[in-house]
């Protein structure tokens, strides 16, 4: 298995709601790395940069900001255009990545907060070893409509209403999850283990 560390954790939070948003991500990474028997090496930066070099994979965190209202740093958009290693976008990061590849991000009529069941469409990538109908923690009010980018995004999971919950960019090791795996206990750790196992032998 290819070692995807050092992992670059890009902090997209603006601090208006969560003052210390990264500890759950760090704990999540440490738990997944331990299950793989590897030592986690973590790099961190804000979404406005500067972005360090020498990373083996990237995670984009959630955020209070809204992609549909174009609340994102131009430096982060430029960074996405340069990434050549496996990347996982979480919630806001999922929406930003999808939007970068042409999908539409729109405001939903309700706020999602709590565990929600997802239907897995592809159990061979991020969801390997995860049971159909597993619930993950969600906290968001925007959603991705993948229709404009149907030729670029491969759906991996949907909600009980058939709305996009996870995707992979076609031909690239770029993934997005609408839910928060860092707050989803054992099943969230499995998602990260599968992501860190990506890259072949």
For residue 200, pLDDT over 50 is answered with: no
DSSP code at position 72: S
Q: How far is the C-alpha of 44 from the C-alpha of 50, rounded, in Å?
A: 10
Q: How far is the C-alpha of 172 from the C-alpha of 135, rounded, in Å?
A: 26
Percent of the chain residues past pLDDT 70, beyond the cut: 97
pLDDT of 106: 97
pLDDT of 152: 98
For residue 175, pLDDT over 80 is answered with: yes
DSSP 12-25: ---SSS-SS-SHHH
Exposed/middle/buried for residue 160 (C-beta within 10 Å: 0-12, 13-18, 19+): exposed
- Sketch out the chain's domains with CATH numbers: 7-196 (3.40.50.880)
Instruction: Give pTM, 2 decimals.
Output: 0.95
Active site residues: 91, 180, 182
DSSP lists the bridge partners of residue 43 as 8
For residue 17, pLDDT over 80 is answered with: no
Number of other CB atoms surrounding residue 58 within 10 Å: 23
Encode pLDDT of 76-118 as tens digits. Answer: 999 999 999 999 999 999 999 999 999 999 998 787 888 999 9
């Amino acid at each position: 298995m290819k070692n995807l560390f050092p992992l670059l954790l890009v902090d997209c939070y603006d601090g208006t709601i969560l003052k210390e948003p990264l500890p759950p991500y760090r704990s999540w990474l440490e738990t997944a790395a331990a299950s793989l028997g590897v030592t986690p090496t973590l790099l961190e930066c804000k979404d406005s940069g500067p972005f360090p070099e020498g990373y083996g994979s990237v995670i984009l965190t959630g955020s209070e900001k809204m992609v549909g209202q174009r609340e994102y740093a131009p430096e982060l958009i430029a960074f996405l255009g340069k990434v050549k290693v496996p990347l996982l976008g979480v919630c806001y990061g999922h929406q930003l990545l999808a939007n970068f590849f042409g999908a539409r991000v729109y405001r939903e009529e309700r706020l999602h907060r709590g565990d929600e069941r997802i239907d897995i469409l592809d159990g061979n990538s991020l969801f390997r070893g995860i049971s159909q109908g597993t619930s993950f923690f969600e906290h968001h009010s925007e959603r991705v409509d993948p229709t404009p980018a149907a030729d670029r995004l491969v759906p991996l999971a949907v909600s009980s209403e058939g709305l996009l919950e996870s995707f992979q960019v076609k031909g690239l090791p770029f993934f997005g999850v609408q839910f928060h795996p860092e707050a989803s206990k054992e099943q969230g750790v499995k998602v990260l283990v599968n992501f860190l196992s990506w890259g072949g032998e």
